[in-house]
Homo-oligomer: A and B are copies of this chain.
Amino acid sequence: MLGERLEQVLKLIVEEYIKNAKPVGSSSICDVLNCSSATVRNDMAELESFGLLEKTHISSGRVPSEKGYRYYVDNLMEPKDMTGEEMLKLQQIFHNNSLQISDVINKSLEIISEMTNYTSVILGNASKENKLKQVEVLPLENNNLIAIVITDKGHVEHKNLFIDASISLDEVKRTTDLINKLLIDTPIDEVSEKLEFEIKPIIGKYVRQHEALYNAFYNVFNDFANRNSMHFVGKTNILNEPEFNNAEKIKSLISKFEDSNIVNSIEEKEDGIHVYIGSENSLDDDVTIIKTRYKIDGEEGTIAIVGPKRMQYDKVVSLLEFLNTNIDK
C-alpha cells in the first residue's frame, strides 16, 4: 500500500496522461497537490522505483507503466458518472420496442463506440437457453441435402451435406423424424450427447448406412453449438489514437483484427467487468481490452471494448456497468 500523497501523484499522472498522451512533468501537477515540484519529483522517483511509472528518456516526464495502470484501475479509479445525454441515448435504445432484441446490443455498442471513440467487438452465439425446436432435411440435386436446425428462441442454422448415394431418402426421413420426436426441447448444448446415446443406437437398427448419416447430423449440431458470430463496431476508431500514428502499428493491429484467432483474445468466460491491460491480453501489448459477458433472450456472449492502454478506464467501466444493469429489462 502506497502513502496517500504517492497515490495522489500516481492518480494525477495517470489521468493527465490519459487526457493528453504526453509524458507528465512534475511542475504540471504540483499546484494541485499544494507542494513544490521538487517534492513531486521525489515522489515520482519513488513511484518509478516501484515500477509504477516509466520515463521515455532520462530527462523526460513520467508515463504510467502497465503496473501503474493496474494499480490505478484496482485502487485509485473512481466511477465516472455518465452525462444525462449519454444515459438518455442508451435508455432510448433499451426502451425502443420495435427493435429486434438481438439488435439492442449492437445499437448500444454503436453508441458506446461513438461516445468513447474506441473499437467494440461483440462475440455472440446461441445461448444454452435455446432448445431444439425442429430439424428439417431437404433433398437437393445429386445427393446433396440441406439440413436446417431451428431453436425455440428463433436461431436458425443450416448446412449442406453430401450423402452417399446408397442412402435412400426414406432412411433420411426416418432419422429426421426420430430426431424430431426424441430431441425436441433438448437444450442445444446437450443435443450432440443425446444424439450419440439415444438416437445412434436406434438408427443403427433400421438405417443401413447409419454411420454416415449419424456423422452428418452430429456435425450439424456441433457446428451450431460452437458457431460464433463476431462483429466489430467502429473498427477504425482506435486507429485515431495517437499511439497508432505509424503505419507498422496500424497494419499489425488490423491484421490481428482480421485473424480468426482473435476469438480467443476476445472471449470472456466469467461474469463481471474485466480489464486486461497491455500484455495482460493476448491480442496486442499496446491495447487494453475491457470485457463483460452479456446474455439477452436466446443469445449470449462477450462484449469487448478495445482502446489504447491510455484508455478512459473510468468512463468505459461506467458505461459497461450501466449496460449490464439495464440490459435485462
Give chain A's interface residues, CB within 8 Å of chain B: 100, 133-134, 136, 138, 140-141, 144, 146, 148, 150, 152-154, 156, 158, 160, 232, 235-236, 239-240, 244-247, 250-251, 254-255, 258
**Contact of A150 (CB < 8 Å), options: B134, B148, B236, B254:** B148
Point out the residues of chain B lying under 8 angstroms from A134, CB to CB: 138
Q: How far is the CA of A141 from the CA of B153 in the complex (A)?
A: 7
Point out the residues of chain B lying under 8 angstroms from A232, CB to CB: 258
CB <8 Å contact, A251 and B235: no
**Contact of A254 (CB < 8 Å), options: B138, B140, B156, B236:** B236
CB <8 Å contact, B154 and A148: no
Q: How far is the CA of A142 from the CA of B166 in the complex (A)?
A: 43
CB <8 Å contact, B250 and A251: yes
Consensus secondary structure, chain A interface: mixed
Residue of B nearest to A232 (CB): B258
CB <8 Å contact, B258 and A235: yes
Point out the residues of chain B lying under 8 angstroms from A156, CB to CB: 146, 148, 156, 158
CB <8 Å contact, B150 and A154: no
What would be 7 A-B contacts, judged by CB atoms less than 8 Å apart? A141-B152, A148-B148, A148-B150, A148-B156, A235-B258, A236-B251, A247-B250
CB <8 Å contact, B251 and A240: yes
Task: State the copy count for this chain.
Answer: 2
Smallest Cβ distance from A326 to chain B, in angstroms?
Answer: 21
Point out the residues of chain B lying under 8 angstroms from A246, CB to CB: 247
Smallest Cβ distance from A41 to chain B, in angstroms?
Answer: 35
Residue of B nearest to A146 (CB): B154
Which are the 6 A-B pairs with shortest beta-carbon distances? A156-B158, A146-B154, A236-B255, A140-B154, A154-B160, A250-B250
Residue of B nearest to A98 (CB): B162
Q: How far is the CA of A152 from the CA of B140 in the complex (A)?
A: 6
Smallest Cβ distance from A182 to chain B, in angstroms?
Answer: 19
Smallest Cβ distance from A321 to chain B, in angstroms?
Answer: 28
Point out the residues of chain B lying under 8 angstroms from A235, CB to CB: 254, 258
Q: How far is the CA of A158 from the CA of B148 in the complex (A)?
A: 11
CB <8 Å contact, A150 and B160: no
Smallest Cβ distance from A163 to chain B, in angstroms?
Answer: 13
Q: How far is the CA of A136 from the CA of B153 in the complex (A)?
A: 16
Smallest Cβ distance from A239 to chain B, in angstroms?
Answer: 5
**In the complex, given contacts A138-B150, A236-B255, what are 9 additional A-B residue pairs having Cβ atoms less than 8 angstroms apart?**
A100-B160, A140-B153, A146-B154, A148-B156, A156-B156, A232-B258, A235-B254, A245-B247, A254-B254
Q: How far is the CA of A283 from the CA of B239 in the complex (A)?
A: 20
Point out the residues of chain B lying under 8 angstroms from A239, CB to CB: 247, 250-251, 254
Point out the residues of chain B lying under 8 angstroms from A153, CB to CB: 140-141
Q: How far is the CA of A148 from the CA of B135 in the complex (A)?
A: 12
Smallest Cβ distance from A296 to chain B, in angstroms?
Answer: 14
